[in-house]
Amino acid sequence: MSEQKRVDPSRIAEELRELGRQLTEAVRSVAGSEEAQKLRQELAEGLRTIAKEVEEVTEKVREREETQKLREQAKHLTESVKSGEATKKLREELADALSALNKQLSHLVERLREQAEEGETASSAGESQGQGGE
């Protein structure tokens, strides 16, 4: 059996702190260099590219959601037609529209009859006066 050497957790924490300190120092030492400026420019360009890609993906997801909603609505309409629900509703609306049209035509026919009767009455009265005046 080999003995396993245990590492003290405080040692790991100390090593991580030292690593952070050294990274900070390294960044500070090159911060003003030409290389650091190029790195910043590349980083900024990379971030812009990522932002643009995220925006495009978000737009595509939104379009897919809208497309999915349209598909669901079309599916519902298809199911309604198949079940006869849409046909029943269409028939009811058509019957209501025809009923309203018939009422309007009935009123129009009634007015035309009244006007025709008034015209006949006026015409008869005119003929009576014309014959009596000769």
Cα separation, 47 vs 52, whole angstroms: 9
Tell me the longest C-alpha to C-alpha distance in the chain: 150
Please give the average per-residue pLDDT across 40-65, as a whole number. Answer: 86
Of the listed ranges 7-11, 48-52, 66-70, the least confidently predicted one is: 7-11
- Contact between 86 and 77 under an 8 Å Cβ cutoff? The reply is yes
pLDDT digits (tens, 9 = 90+) for 118-133: 877 777 766 666 555 5
List the alpha helices (DSSP H) in 9-84.
Answer: 9-30, 34-83
Q: Considering the entire predicted model, what is its pTM? A: 0.35
Q: Are 57 and 64 in contact (CB under 8 A)?
A: no
Residues 40, 27: Cα–Cα separation, whole Å: 12
pLDDT tens-digit series, residues 55-87: 888 888 888 888 888 889 888 888 877 777 777
Residue entry with tokens 């980083």: 43
For residue 84, give both structure tokens. Answer: 């006869």
* Cα–Cα separations (whole angstroms), residue 67 to 53, 61, 72: 21, 10, 9
Residues 6+ apart with CB under 8 A from 87: 81
User: How many residues are present in the chain?
Assistant: 134
Token pair in block for residue 39: 């790195």
